[in-house]
Structures are given as C-alpha cells and as structure tokens.
Structure 1
Amino acid sequence: MSPAEKEAVQSFRAEVVEPSMTKLVVIDFWAEWCGPCKALTPVLEKVAAEYADKGVVLAKIDTDKNQFIAAQFQIRSIPTVYAMFQGQLVADLTSARTESQLRTMLDQLLRQLPIEGEAQAQDAELEPLIAMGEEVLAAGDAARALSIFDQLAEMAPDHHAVLSGRIRALVAAGEVDAAEAAIAALPDDVAKLPDIERARSALSLARSAPAVDDLAPLEAAVAANPDDFQARYDLANARMVAGDRDGAAEGFLSIVAAERDWNEGAARQQLLKLFEVVGLEDPWVSAQRRKLSAILFG
C-alpha cells in the first residue's frame, strides 16, 4: 500500500472499526456530486442522533477522497449504507431511504446485537421496576401501580413501556380522561408503537365498559336467566373493569360457547381487546386463547 492508502486504512480503523467494537456504526458512502446522497444525509444524521444513546454512531466516507476504502468494500454505486458491529458488516441499510424505514432496520439490529448504550443500561435498570408495576397493576391495585409508574416516568419520561404502564394505571384508577389526554399528547410515531396500542386498547375497553358499583343485580339477572346474553355480557364487562380478568374471560367465553355470533360477535371482540390489554405474550392470555380455540374449533 502507498503511504496515502495506509493513512486511509488507519483513519478508517480509528473512526469506524474501533468504535464498532461496542457500538453499531452506520457507514454512509457518499460523494459531493451525488444528489441522492445529499437527500439521504439529513435522514441518516437525524436518526443517528436519535439513536445515539442506544449505541448508534454515523460514519461518513467520501468515496472521492477515500477511493481505496471504497474499493475494499466494492462500492459500485452511491449512496451505499452499511452497518458494522465488532468490525464486521451486519446489514445493508441502503434500501432505507426514510426515517421510518431506517428506524425499523436499526430497531431490529439492536434487538439482535449486544450493543452497549445508555438506553440499554437504562432498560436494564428499569426492567425490574416496570415488572413490579405491571404485577401490582395486574393484582388490581391501580392506585399503587399509578404511583409506581409516576415515579418511573420521572426517571424515564419517554420510555414506551413506562408510558404504557402509566396510561393503563390511569385507566384502572378510573382516570379515563387523564389517560386519553396522555395518549393525545404523544408524538404520532410513538402513539403507533405496540406498547401504546396496548394502552389505547385499555382506554377503549374502559370507554365501552363503565364501572359498576354493585355487581349483585347483574349476577342475579344471569342466575335467573342464563340465556340473557346482554346481562352476561354486562356482568363480564363489569368484572373486567373491577380487575377480575378471570371472571370476565369466563363470562365472555360462556357467551361465545352458547351463541358465538350474538350481537355480531361482541363477546369475542371484547375478549380479544382484553387480551391486548393484558399483553399477547402473557401466559394468562395464552391459556385463555387455548380455551377460545377449543370453543371455536373443537
């Protein structure tokens, strides 16, 4: 190698390879004369800045000034964008031309790779605290759960799981308007995340099933006439709002078993919403899904 090529390699090693030992380095191969490169640059810079605390850094390689490096990577067209971790290329990000596309690809990589970033360290610290809040919420202690998630929100105001837990705790505590306002205040891209959709489902359920102070009249109505599906549906909703998810699920399932198409499948739809609120990966949901499948397909 010529002295210039050696210098280029040393620079690349210092600016790209060494940082990639612990971080995900997004390498942008570009040139001053390249129009598409200039259009892509703001997208890369913005998303890389947003993901900096997650261990993502952006390295820009001018192919005109670094022809030797570009040749080593067999760059035949620009812009070309790669991701490197621990000195190895782990993804071709060239097809990601919008912020949304780039975020999706980065999120997938960050889930798969042991990247060291401030956000990952914070997640590790918050995980047991969030789990505690979820357990308290599942146990029906809405006030205590809300207190826990309020404290977590002070620590991590933008954490999606914390936002979701706090909104669902507000719903469980009967503060439906506050929960709705919290969702409305979220940025559009955050409001579409699965964690927030789970909270939105909880809000939707609360709007469709207001709290009932005394369940005795509904229980008496069902006992007197088991074919009164509206009473059974209202009782299941009331139990759900009261935090009795087992009783709610049992009620909805009994309606589906007796008359699956009653009220255009309202019981099954409400049960599926309850699954979303509890969390589709929750073992309780898996067990209830098996019961529903047995009724529908058994």
Structure 2
Amino acid sequence: MGLNLDEQKAVDRFRKTVAEPSMTQLVVLDFWAEWCGPCKALTPVLEKVTAEYADKGVLLAKVNVDEEQFIASQFQVRSIPTVYAIFQGQPVADLTNARTESQLKQMLDQLLEKLPVQPEGAAPQQDIAPLIAMGEEALAANDGERAASIFMQILEMVPDNAEVLSGLIRGLVVAGRLEEAGQVLGGLTPEVAADPHLERARTALELAKDKPEDSELATLKAAAASRPEDMEAQLAYANAAFAAGERDAAAGALLAMVAADREWNEGAARAKLLQIFEAVGLEDPWVSATRRKLSTVLFG
C-alpha cells in the first residue's frame, strides 16, 4: 500500500477505534489538539450528547491531530475542531458546526432516522430475520402461545424493535391474552408506538376486543343463519367469529354480504374484510386466498 510502519500503525488504530465500530454504529469522529481552545469548549458537549445517545448506537471517537497527522491528512483536516459522523467506514455528515447540545442532537436525530444504526451488542437485523419469520409462521398457524414465546425471546435480543413488538402483541391476541397485549401496547414509547408495524397489532387487538362468550357466539351464529337478509345480524356474527378465532367463518359471512349488497352501510362488509386482512397480515397465505375470493365476488 506504500505506507511506512508508523502510517500502517495509524491505519490499524483507526480501523479498530473508528472503522470497525462504524459498521453497525454511528461514530462521532472529533479531530482535536491540546492547544485548541474551541476544542476544549466543544469536548464536553460531544461527550455528554454521545453518552446520552449511546443506547441508540452512537459512539464518540477522538483523533489528536498532533499525534495522528497521517489520519488527519487523509480527512483533509484544515482547522480544528473538525467533527464528522462516520457510518460503515464513510463520512456521512459534517457535524463541525453543531456547537450546542440541541444542534448536535438535531443532526444526530436526522441521521438516525435515515441510517440502519444498531446499538452495541444488538443482534444484526439479518440475524433476527429468520426468528421473526418463525414467529410469523406460528401466527399463520393460529398458534398464539408459541408466537408470543418466540417474539418474547427475540425481544430480549432487540429491545424496542417495533416489528418484534408487533408480533408479540399479535401473538398475545391470538392466544386470548388481551389484557397483556393491551399492557404491552400501552407501555410503548411514543417513538415506537408511532412505527407503522404497530398499526397491524393495534388493529388486531381492536378486533379481538369483540370476542364473545361461546353461548353468545352460538346465538349470533343462529341469528345470522335464520335471517340471511339481515345485514346487521351477519356483520355482528362476522365480528364475533373473527374475534373468537374463527376467521374462515367470519370471512365467509362477510363475502356473502358483499355478494348480496356491496354498498350496504357504505361498504361496511368490505371495509371489515380489509381490516381483517391488515390484522392478519397482507403476506399471509390465508389473506391472499381470501383476497382472491373477494376479487371474484367484486369483479366476477
């Protein structure tokens, strides 16, 4: 590479302290020197903010330009302090002008929204993907207890992961543990609760709240069977059947309603089916099959 021994050592130090950690974390790289007054003023700000953001995957690394002249020259540092954000070995932002806590936090928040940064020690997303798929398979098989157990174990690896939390809540719903599902959903931070993955869980919990007693379900089923023209009776039975875990029966009732009068109550039957699809998951084989049935009813 044409480097002398000292330069090779400098590159090795940089690789270990900056490049390698930046593969998963966001490294705030501060170029400074002992004689630099502005550097001394900025250092407490950088240390405080990066410490607060450590659990979000932010790490502070410092390069003394007097001791690491070769590294500073590679970054073409012309004045100090110079501060870069490094991710996956590359500078992704110049943070030099962020001299206050609020300015630095604002810039870090913007970067963290765009980059797949992971806290130190967190399992990489690709490592948990097969486990998430396993949990989704359990949900597709209507095995809520197993799904909840799988997602709970994944959650220990990646706390506050919205996709995993969604799976856990849906697993608890399918298992009939609605109070626990509500507690998990209610205990989320505003940031996690706003994630689109949680909409699916929220819908599943909302639909499950209609779960009737066995005797009530039987009564609703009998009423729907005896009055096929009564749309209110059909919808009440469909709601109860899905909440009770009988999604085939619920879909059958709703499809029959769409076939009979798709415009009834502003398309309530079709809207309920779409809500059920969202709760179960658009990629679920059952949803795909039921959507084809709906298309046949709507378009022949």
Same fold (TM over 0.5): yes
SS of match in other structure, 2:214: coil
TM superposition score normalised by structure 2: 0.67
User: What are the superposed Cα offsets for residues 183-231 of structure 1, whole Å, 9 maximum, x if unpaired?
Assistant: 2222222323344333222211123x23341444433433444332222
**Higher mean displacement: 94-103 or 243-252:** 94-103
Could you tell me how far apart the structure 1 residues matched to 2:64 and 2:264 are?
65
Give the superposition deviation at 1:33. Answer: 2.6
Contact 1:43 1:99 in 2 (8 A): no
Q: Which amino acid aligns with 1:200?
A: R
User: 1:11 corresponds to which letter in structure 2?
Assistant: A
1:41-99 deviations in whole A, cap 9, x for unaligned? 6544433x2255xxx754344679867645533568986534343xx527448698355
| Alignment check: 8 A CA contact 1:222 1:232 kept | yes
Question: Which of the two has higher C-alpha Rg?
Answer: 2
Answer yes or no: is the 8 Å Cα contact 1:40–1:97 preserved in 2: no
Post-superposition CA distance 1:124-167 (Å, at most 9, x none): 3x655554444334333444544x34862785482635533332
Residue of structure 2 equivalent to 1:104: 113
Distance 1:74 1:236, change over 3 A: farther
**1:81 match:** 84
Identity of aligned residues (%): 41
Q: Is the deviation greater in 269-278 or in 216-225?
A: 216-225
Structure 2 residue 211 is the aligned partner of structure 1 residue 210: yes
How many residues in Structure 1 have an aligned counterpart in Structure 2?
Answer: 280
Q: What TM-score, normalized to structure 1?
A: 0.68
Is 1:238 aligned to residue 253 of structure 2? no
Q: 1:296 to 1:117 in 2, by over 3 A?
A: farther
Aligned match of 2:99 = none
From the superposition, tell whether residues 194 and 79 of structure 1 become closer, same or farther in structure 2 (CA, over 3 Å). farther
1:186 is paired with a residue of what secondary structure? coil
Aligned ranges 1:134-213 → 2 under 5 Å:
134-146=136-148, 148-149=149-150, 152=153, 155-156=156-157, 158=159, 160=161, 161-207=163-209, 209-213=210-214
SS for the counterpart of 1:178 is helix
Q: Could you tell me how far 1:296 is from its partner in structure 2?
A: 6.0
Partner of 1:119: 122
8 Å contact from structure 1 (residues 29, 80) kept in 2? yes
Equivalent of 1:248 in 239, 247, 250 = 250
Is the Cα–Cα contact under 8 Å of residues 10 and 70 in structure 2 kept in the other structure? no
- Runs of at least 5 residues in structure 1 that lack an aligned partner in the other structure: 111-115
Partner SS state of residue 265, structure 2: helix
SS in 1 for 2:283: coil
- Worse overlay, 283-292 or 69-78: 69-78
Match of 2:55 in 1: 50
Cα distance 1:296–1:69, how it changes in 2: closer, same or farther (>3 A)? farther
Structure 2: distance between partners of 1:260 and 1:61: 68
Q: What stretches of structure 2 of length at least 5 have no aligned partner? A: 96-103
Residue 33 of structure 1 pairs with residue 35 of structure 2: no
Shift in alpha-carbon separation, 1:36–1:251, aligned structure 2, 3 A:
farther
Which residue type is aligned with residue 55 of structure 2?
E
Give the partner amino acid of 1:119.
Answer: A
**Equivalent in the alignment of 1:14:** 13
Letter in 1 for 2:214: D
